[in-house]
Amino acid sequence: MTDEKLIAVIAGDGIGPEVIAQATRVLNYYREERGLPLRLWPLDLGADRYLRDKTTYPAEVHARIAQEASAVLLGALGDPRVPAFEHAHDILFGLRFGLDLYANVRPIRALGERLVPLRDFGMEDVDLVVFRENTEGVYVGIGGQFKRGTLDEVAISEDVNTRKGVERLIRAGFDYARAHGRRRVHMADKSNAMRHAHELWYRVFFEVATDYPEIEARHAYIDALCLHLVQDPSQFDVIVTCNLFGDIITDLGAALQGGLGMAASGNYHPRVERCCDQKHGPARVALFEPVHGSAPPLAGTDTANPLASVLTVGMMLGHLGWPEEERRLEQIVARAIAEKRCTRDVGGDLGTCAVGDWVIAELSAAS
């Protein structure tokens, strides 16, 4: 029996391998120089593999991840050579759905003053966390096409919202707010148009809120929430929302923190109190990924910003029981921005690898 933590690594497509190479250097630094009991397990999955032998996400790989891994680190998936996203769909949703990682947690925090693009707001105003439902909604893939290619064509993607799925995500958001001293939780829906599905969100949100009397519960329609996020991000602490809206507002949120090159995320299965999801099974693996995609035009140019992946590794280390290391990585990233030791998208002139060199040098100097 060992405390060693197995980390499955899926670099993926496009800029995925380039940013994950830097993230892996950070993990290897912690393993080799700081003695953290980590074992990396690189997985050859992604578009190249798919085009080679049609493999997407083998059942035996999933079983080993579920049983033996402590975490998965994923770069990005999506390749123009695979137009229907088949491999990416199997891998990404195989992990999120297959491990029931229902909370996609996406912090929106600006780690430098000049990263905030708003005229009247600074970095202290951009500090919120989005809890995105991650296993339901339109992402379930239920639907179909009828009379495809004709003028009578019908295309349906069903939006699935269950009591259990909605409640556990909302509770996870409130639990987080309580644990982290956040005063307000917003729930963003479109209950004025999606009267069945989002009336459920609305009702459950205010029901759950009664268990958290010290936290202010506010409802916002998703369209107005987008407006308010740009007009005054300082009013937000925690936002809970459905899968699709969470996807969209976290790209908007990324724009408030310096772009997609700065946005990290974790996918978890939190244990929530007083919910229908009370059967405590074995501890679940968590999945960590930068919010950005594979950015095909940047691939192979050494211009992708690796800091989102460095922050993602920080979230992983925090989750695995090393919160000081998460803070240290955040500080180093903030310094990279302040001293312009970063890529062009965030105002520097370094390449992807050079940013990684600087991060490792800073880590070594701090020890």
Residue 294 contact among ligand NAD, ligand IPM, Mn ion, none, beta carbon within 5 to 8 Å by kind: ligand NAD
The tokens describing 333, both together, are 């990233």
83: tokens are 């137009």
Closer Cβ to Mn ion, 160 or 248, answer by number: 248
Rounded distance, CA 164 to CA 182, Å? 24
The answer to the question of residue 136 lying near ligand IPM (CB under 6 A) is: no
The verdict on whether 340 is a catalytic residue reads no
Is-catalytic flag, 190? yes
What x/- string results for residues 341 through 360 when contact with ligand NAD is judged by CB under 6 A?
----x---------------
Residue 308 engages ligand NAD in binding (rule: CB under 6 A)? yes
Number of residues engaging ligand NAD in binding (CB under 6 A) = 19
**Residue 314 contact among ligand NAD, ligand IPM, Mn ion, none, beta carbon within 5 to 8 Å by kind:** none
292 touches ligand NAD (CB under 6 A): yes
**247 touches Mn ion (CB under 5 A):** yes
Q: Are strands 216-221 and 238-241 parallel, antiparallel or unpaired?
A: unpaired
Beta carbons within 8 Å of 290's beta carbon, 6+ residues apart: 19, 75, 76, 260, 263, 264, 265, 308, 309, 311, 312
Minimum distance, C-beta of residue 309 to ligand NAD, in the bound complex (Å): 8
Q: Answer yes or no: 251 catalytic.
A: yes
How far is it, in rounded angstroms, from Cα 98 to Cα 58? 12
- Give the DSSP H or E segment for 226: helix 222-231
Which residue, chain included where needed, has tokens 């909604």? Answer: 137
Known catalytic residue at 211: no
* Angle in degrees, CA 209, 213, 216, rounded to 5: 70
Q: In this complex, which beta carbon is closest to ligand IPM, that of residue 107 or of residue 293?
A: 293
Per the DSSP assignment, residues forming a β-bridge with 137 are 160
Work out what residue 308 binds among ligand IPM, ligand NAD, Mn ion, none; the CB cut-off runs from 5 to 8 Å by kind.
Answer: ligand NAD
Q: What is the DSSP string of 66-100?
A: HHHEEEEEEEE---TTSTT-HHHHHHHHHHHHHTT
Nearest to residue 108, comparing CAs of 126, 133, 120? 126
Q: Is 223 a catalytic residue?
A: yes
Give 246: exposed, middle or buried? Use CB within 10 Å, 0-12, 13-18, 19+: buried
Under rule CB under 6 A, which residues in 276-295 are in contact with ligand IPM? 291, 293
Instruction: Name the catalytic one among 100, 125, 251, 277.
Output: 251
Query: Which of 246, 253, 261, 356 forms a contact with ligand NAD (CB under 6 A)?
Result: 261
Min separation Cβ 161 and ligand NAD, Å:
22
Contact code string over 205-244 relative to Mn ion, x by CB under 5 A: ----------------------------------------
Between 291 and 317, CB nearer to ligand IPM: 291
Active-site residue (options: 211, 223, 232, 349): 223
Q: Which stretch binds ligand NAD (CB under 6 A): 23-31, 41-49, 74-82, 179-187?
A: 74-82
- Out of 48, 127, 190, 202, the active site residue is 190
Residue in the block written with tokens 């439902």 = 133
- Of 171-179, 181-189, 203-211, 291-299, the window that binds ligand NAD (rule: CB under 6 A) is 291-299
Render 86-154 in DSSP notation, one character per residue: HHHHHHHHHHHHHTT--EEEEEEE-SSGGG---TT--GGG-EEEEEEE-SSBGGG--EEEESTTSTT-E
Q: Does 247 bind ligand IPM (CB under 6 A)?
A: yes
Chain centroid, CA 89 distance in Å: 16
C-alpha distances (whole Å) from 63 to each of 44, 100, 197, 257 are 16, 13, 33, 36
Residues within the interface to ligand IPM (CB under 6 A): 247, 291, 293
Residues annotated as catalytic are 139, 190, 223, 247, 251
